Amino acid sequence: MKNICHICCIGAGYVGGPTMSVIADKCPDIQIKVVDINPERISAWNSSDLSKLPIYEPGLDQIVSRTRGRNLFFSTDIENSISEADMVFISVNTPTKTSGLGAGQASDLRWVEASARQVAQCAKGHTIVVEKSTLPVRTAQTIKEILDTTKQNNLVQGKNPTFSVLSNPEFLAEGTAVNDLERPDRVLVGGEDTDAIESLVNIYLKWVPLERIIKTNLWSSELSKLTANAFLAQRISSINSISALCEVTGADVAEVSNAIGADKRIGREFLAPGPGFGGSCFKKDILNLVYLCGYFGIPEVGNYWQQVVELNNWQQKRICKIVLQKLFGTVNGKHIAILGFSFKANTNDTRESPAIQISLDLLEEGAKLSIYDPKVKPQRIQEDIDEYSKNSPGQWTVANDISEALKGADALLILTDWDEFKNLDWNYLSTLMRTPTWVFDTRSVVNSIDIKNAGINLWRLGEGV
Ligand code: NAD
Ligand code: UDX
C-alpha cells in the first residue's frame, strides 16, 4: 500500500475547498494543494480576512485558519501541484449540458476530461486518481482511457507515469458540510486496485470508523451517488405533492409529515415541505440519471425519475399563483419583500434556488421586489435575476436588512429557512407594511399566533383552510 504524503485537489469549489480543509485538519502529515483555473477563487481562499473565503460554511473559517499555510495550500499552479502528488482528487464542476447531444439532461464532462488530460501530462510515477465529482456511471472508464492515451509527453521525458482510478463520491450537504465531513454517515470507495483502495481508506481511517467505510466496485460507487440524491429529492417531491393536497382538503402537511415520519420504516428526514428543492446537485443528478436510462435503453425507468423534477418545477411555479390569488388577482405595482435567496439556510449558494424562479414569476407579473438574504451578495442576486429576465430597471432592489425590505410592502414571502426569520417582532414589522398585509411562509418558520396577533394575514404552505 502506497503511503500518501502529497495530495492535489483539482477544483476549489463547494466540495474541493471544505473536503480538503477537513482532510488537512485530520491528517497534518499530508501536504495538500487545492488548485483551480479561477484565480479570483484562489485568491479569495487565500484571503487574510476569513470572512472573505469564497464559500460560507459554518465552522470552515476556523479549520482554514489552523491548516492554511501549514499543510493546506490554495494555488493556481496546477502543473507542479499534480506532479508532486501521490494522489489527485478531481473535484470540478459537472453541470447539465446546455447544448448538443443530451442537452438539458446529460452531465457536461468537459472539465473532468480537461483535468484527466492535465493529470496525464504532469503526473510522475504512480498516481492514484480519485473521482470526487459526481459522475455518470462508467466515467471512470473514460478517465482511465484518457490517462493511458494522453501520457505521451510524460513518456518522452522518461517519467513513465502509471495510474489507478478510484471513485469516492462526496455526500456533504451545503450548510452542514463541516459536520458531514467530520462525521460522515459513510465514506464510499469504489475501485479495482486493492492497494490504491487501501491508500485512500487509510486516510479516512484517521477520523472515520472502519465500519462506516464502504468498499464497492467502481460502477456501484458512481451509481450510488446519483441514486442517493435521487432518493432524497424524491422524498421532497413526495411531501410537496401532499402539501398541495393538504391545502385543498383541510389537512396540515406538518401533521401529516410528523405522522408518517414516526414510522421507523419511513423516518423523519427530508420530509419538510417547501418551495421546491434547489441546489446544484438534485436536479442535475436526477436529469443525468434520466439520460443514462435513455442511453441504456430503459426509458420507463427514466420517466419515473423525471417526474420528481417535474413535480419540483410545478411546486416552484404554484407559489406565484397563490400570491396573485390572495392579493386580489394582481401584484402589478405592488411591493413584495422576498426573505431568503439562497437555496437553503447556512449557505451563500443560490444555484437552482427556488427563490430565483419565484422572483422571476413575480417580476413577470409586474411586482416590485425588495430582496433580503443574510449571506448572498447583491451581485450574485443581480446576476441570477439578470440571467433570465429583462425586467424593467428599478423593478427590484436588494435590502440591507429585514426592516428595509418590508418598508411599504403589501406582502412578504419567506423562501429560505434562515434562523433569523424565525423570531421576528411582527408587531413592529407590521407597522412598516401596507394593509391588508400578507405573509407567505413557504418554509413554516414563522410563529402563526404572533403573525395573526399583529393583524397580518398568513398563508402557510401545506396548511389547509
Ligand atoms: P464548484 O463549481 O463550486 O467548483 C468547481 C471548481 O472547479 C470551480 O472553481 C472551477 O473553476 C474548477 N475547475 C473546473 N475545471 C477545472 C480545471 N480543469 N482545472 C482546475 N480547476 C477547474 O462545484 P462544486 O459544487 O464544488 O461541485 C464539484 C463536484 O462535486 C460536482 O460534480 C458536484 O456535482 C459534486 N458535488 C457537489 C456537492 C455540493 O454540495 N456542491 C456535494 C456533493 C457532490
Ligand atoms: C444534497 C445532498 O443532501 C447531499 O448529500 C449531496 O452531497 C449534495 O446534494 P444540498 O443540495 O447541499 O445536498 O442540500 P440538501 O440539504 O440536500 O437540500 C437540498 C434542497 O432540498 C434545499 O433546497 C432544501 O431546502 C430542500 N429540502 C431539504 C426540502 O425542501 N425539504 C427537506 O426536508 C430537505
Burial of 249 (0-12, 13-18, 19+ CB in 10 A): exposed
Helix, strand, coil % over all residues of the chain, rounded to 5: 45, 15, 40
Q: Count CA atoms within 13 Å of residue 94 on its CB side.
A: 28
418-445 pLDDT tens trace: 999 999 999 999 999 999 999 999 999 9
Q: Which three cell numbers stand for residue 276?
A: 421546491
Q: Does residue 267 contact residue 238 with C-beta atoms inside 8 Å?
A: no
Among 280, 351, 352, the mutation site with the greatest number of ligand 1 atoms within 8 A of its Cβ is 280
Q: What distance in Å separates the CA atoms of residue 450 and residue 425, rounded to the nearest whole number?
A: 8
Closest Cα to atom 14 of ligand 2: 173
Q: What is the pLDDT of residues 89-116, one digit of tens each?
A: 999 999 999 999 999 999 999 999 999 9
Instruction: Say what the pLDDT of residue 247 is.
Output: 97
Instruction: Please tell me the distance from the alpha carbon of residue 142 to that of residue 331, in angstroms, as a whole number.
Output: 52
For residue 173, the ligand 1 atom closest to its alpha carbon is 40
Residue 1: pLDDT band by 50, 70, 90 thresholds?
Answer: confident
Q: Please, which pLDDT band fits residue 391 given cuts at 50, 70 and 90?
A: low
**411 sits in which H/E element:** strand 411-414
Residue 230: CB within 6 Å of ligand 2? no
Q: Which ligand is nearest to the CA of 350?
A: 2
The residue contributing the CA closest to ligand 2 atom 17 is 173
- The helix/strand/coil state of 247 is helix
Strand partners, 73: 33
Q: How confident is the model at residue 2 (pLDDT cuts 50, 70, 90)?
A: confident
Q: Is 14 in the pocket of ligand 2 (CB under 6 A)?
A: no
Answer yes or no: is the C-beta of 352 below 6 A from any ligand 1 atom: no
Active site residues: 170, 225, 281
Q: How far apart are the first and last CA of the chain?
A: 64
Q: Is 8 in the pocket of ligand 1 (CB under 6 A)?
A: no
Among all ligands shown, which has an atom nearest to the Cα of 77?
1
- Specify the DSSP class assigned to residue 252: B
Mean pLDDT of 356-380: 96
- Kindly report, residue by residue over 115-132, the tens digit of the pLDDT: 999 999 999 999 999 999
pLDDT value of residue 464: 87
Closest ligand to 89 CA? 1
Ligand nearest to the CA of 173: 2
- C-beta of residue 289 within 8 angstroms of C-beta of residue 362: no
Is residue 12 scored above 70 in pLDDT? Answer: yes
Supply the mean pLDDT for the chain: 96
Cα(340) to ligand 1 centroid in Å equals 24
The band of 156, judged by pLDDT with boundaries at 50, 70 and 90, is low
**What digits encode the pLDDT tens for the residues 60-85?**
999 999 999 999 999 999 999 999 99
Q: What is the pLDDT of residue 124?
A: 92
Measured CA to CA, the distance from residue 224 to residue 229 in angstroms comes to 9
Q: 349: Cβ below 6 Å to ligand 2?
A: no
- Going by CA atoms, what residue is nearest to atom 29 of ligand 1? 133
Whether residue 335 has its Cβ less than 6 Å from ligand 2: no
User: Is the preceding peptide bond at 436 cis, omega within 30 degrees of 0?
Assistant: yes
* pLDDT tens, residue by residue, 310-346: 999 999 999 999 999 999 999 999 999 999 999 999 9
pTM assigned to the model: 0.96
Angle at 344 between CA 339 and CA 345, to 5 degrees: 75
CA distance 220 to 251: 41
Is residue 167 within 6 Å of ligand 1 at its C-beta?
no
Ligand 1 and 114: CB distance under 6 A: yes
Pairing state between β 6-10 and 31-35: parallel
The grid coordinates of residue 279 equal 441546489
Separation of CA 173 and ligand 2 centre (Å): 6
- The pLDDT of residue 397 is above 70: yes
pLDDT per residue over 205-261, tens digit each?
999 999 999 999 999 999 999 999 999 999 999 999 999 999 999 999 999 999 999
Tally of CB atoms within 10 A around 221: 23
Which domains are delineated in the chain? 6-216 (3.40.50.720), 283-460 (3.40.50.720)
- Average confidence (pLDDT) over 149-156: 74
Examine the pLDDT at 282 and tell me if it is beyond 80. Answer: yes
Nearest CA, atom 27, ligand 2: 277
CA 252-277-446 angle, to 5 degrees, is: 45
